[in-house]
Amino acid sequence: MLSIRAFLMISLLLLLTACGFQLRGQIPNLPFDTIHVVAPPGHSIGIDVERAISVGTNAKVVRKPENAQAILQIISAVNEKKILSLSGGGRVREFQLGYRVSARLVDPQGNEIAPFEEINLTRVLPFLDAQVLAKAAEEEMLYKDMQVDAVQQIVRRIAAVRGKQPSLNDEHHP
């Protein structure tokens, strides 16, 4: 019986690797040694991005923008909540929660290194009037989960930035 179980496990692992499945693992190295993060006041996404960069990458987060090779400007981070469906009696059955972040990467002179598209994340929150307190806690947890996802996407997008390629005008001819 054990050999059948082992055979099934090995088969499953081979199928997963054949389809390209790979654990997420560590964030790749960033193309910058130092980075400064600017975030909207009163929002925790800046702290989360700094922590993700400091702990998971080769880059160092610096406090002064003039000491950074790149500056991540988090322009906005917004929570949204929309009614997704109603019951026959007009009561809310589901909400759609959204988390929208826009950011860009610039050099210390303010020149854009990489424009960031807006990151939009959504989750569905089923709602029952009898569970208002539990649903409020679940809503908060879903927003936090979306922020964690957004932070990972931001850091991965920074890691994908390549250095500027020299143009023909930049070459020095002897």
Q: Do residues 90 and 62 lie in contact, with contact meaning Cβ atoms separated by under 8 Å?
A: no
Confidence (pLDDT) at 56: 85
For 165-174, write each residue's pLDDT tens digit. 333 334 433 3
What domains, with CATH codes, occur in the chain? 23-161 (3.30.160.150)
Quick: pLDDT tens for 115-167.
Answer: 878 999 999 999 887 787 888 899 999 999 999 999 999 999 999 887 543 33
In 3D space, the residue among 132, 100, 130, 134 whose CA is nearest the CA of residue 117 turns out to be 100
Encode 36-59: b = buried (16+ Cβ within 10 Å), e = exposed. bbebeeebebbebbbebbeebbeb
State the average pLDDT over residues 94-104: 96
- Per-residue confidence at 47, pLDDT binned at 50, 70, 90? very high
Kindly report the pTM of this predicted structure: 0.75
89 pLDDT above the threshold of 90: no
